[in-house]
Amino acid sequence: MKQETPLHRVQGLGAAHSGTGHFWHQRMTAVALVLLGGWFAVVMLGLVGASEASLVGFLARPWNAILMAAFVIVLLYHMMLGLQVVIDDYAHAPGAKIFLMLLMRAFAIAIGAASLFALIHIAAL
């Protein structure tokens, strides 16, 4: 027995069935960020006072470059998930909501591309 009214069944209204996936993506990226953020904090504390050449040498090692790239990608994806919720909750005009979503995604893609380009450039040195 369904709990929908006949009008809802006809109009196709109801749950979008996307909230659970969004919830789990946000939680999984948060767990990944705890691990990668711990690695990042330890690395940065170890590099305090180091020269620029030693930092470049550190990022030129494959595992460090891979972990840094993963950190950047997961961080930006988690940011996009969180800002999507904020925009959905506080932007009420449909045009403003679409514009802010596109702006947020363009910003995340630009930052991600620049970061990955820098990591590849460092690794190629």
pLDDT at 20: 81
pLDDT at 22: 87
pLDDT at 15: 58
Say which residues have a Cβ less than 8 Å from residue 17's Cβ, sequence separation at least 6. none
Q: Rounded to an integer, what distance in angstroms lies between the CA atom of residue 87 and that of residue 75? A: 18
Q: Which residue has the higher pLDDT, 3 or 67?
A: 67
Percent of the chain with pLDDT over 90: 78
pLDDT at 32: 98
- Buried/exposed code over 29-43 (b: 16+ C-beta within 10 A; e: otherwise): beebbeebeeebeeb
pLDDT in tens, 62-102: 999 999 999 999 999 999 999 999 999 999 998 999 999 99
Domains of the chain listed by start with CATH number: 21-124 (1.20.1300.10)
pLDDT at 11: 61
pLDDT at 125: 76
pLDDT at 110: 98
Answer for the pair 69, 119: CB distance below 8 angstroms, yes or no: yes
